[in-house]
Amino acid sequence: MNSNSFLAIDFETANYYRHSACAVGLVKVENCKIIRKKSFLIKPPQKEFYFSYIHGITWEDVKNELTFEELWPKMKSFFSGVDFLVAHNASFDKSVLRKCCEYYDIEFPQNDFLCTVQLSRRLWNIYPTNLPSVCNHFKIPLKHHDALSDTEACAQIMLRAIKEKKFAYELT
């Protein structure tokens, strides 16, 4: 794949339910340049927040925000015109996106997903592959568990793979 048009995405969730997205970061890349980036707080369907200790987001922070369903029209434009989606630990972010779409009866985007965890292992033999370790390896700034910062870092990792012409990754 020789594509340089992609969307990096990162979700934070309120609890163990994958449809409990409480934040999302989106970074759109075209021709190896970041052209658009945005983060949104999201009001999840339940008030239960078990992961505030990880990302710092509480019910008070999101109770007046849009739900995923209400936010989707704003998010959807980020998905158009990209060849694939990329996330760090893509299986998690893909499942959050899928479960949010299912919960609100929204058509799931059919873009392929790439994973920068897998890229980091296969292309550069980086271990451990958690986002702070990979960012440290490449000297990429990171405010971990801030959805936009995580997404920007993921986009930078993907751009590095593209620029180094290392395309030996698998779609998930």
3-state secondary structure 50-73: CCHHHHCCCHHHHCCCCCHHHHHH
Q: Percent of the chain at pLDDT above 90?
A: 90
Identify which of 131, 128, 102 has the alpha carbon closest to the alpha carbon of residue 116: 131
Helices 116-124, 131-138: crossing angle, 10 deg rounding: 50
Helix (H) and strand (E) counts for the chain? 7, 5
Residue that is written with structure tokens 């019910």 in the block: 59
Give mean pLDDT, residues 123-132. Answer: 96
Banded model confidence at residue 168, pLDDT cuts 50, 70, 90: very low
Number of separate domains in the chain: 1
- For residue 168, is it within any domain? no
User: What are 85-117's pLDDT values in tens digits?
Assistant: 999 999 999 999 999 999 999 999 999 999 999
Could you tell me if residue 121 is inside a domain? yes
Q: How far lies 26's CA from each of 8, 40, 50, 69, 110, in Å?
A: 6, 9, 23, 16, 17
- CB 89, CB 117: distance < 8 Å: yes
At position 72, the amino acid (one-letter code) is: W
Q: What is the pLDDT of residue 166?
A: 63
What rounded mean pLDDT belongs to the chain?
Answer: 94
DSSP H helical segments within 46-130, as ranges? 52-55, 59-62, 68-79, 90-103, 116-124
User: Model-level pTM?
Assistant: 0.93
Residue 108 forms part of a structural domain: yes
Residue 8: its pLDDT value, please? Answer: 99
User: Could you tell me the two tokens for 52?
Assistant: 């505030």
Does position 170 have pLDDT exceeding 90, yes or no?
Answer: no
Residue 52 lies in a domain: yes
How crowded is residue 16: how many other Cβ atoms within 10 Å of its Cβ?
9
pLDDT tens across 41-83, in order? Answer: 999 999 999 999 999 999 999 999 999 999 999 999 999 999 9
Question: What CATH number is given to the structural domain containing 63?
Answer: 3.30.420.10
**Spatial separation of the C-alpha atoms in residues 114 and 112, rounded to whole Å:** 7
Domain membership flag for residue 15: yes
- Residue 22 belongs to domain spanning: 6-163
Residue 171 counted as domain residue: no
Q: For the residues 25-32, what does the mean pLDDT come to?
A: 95
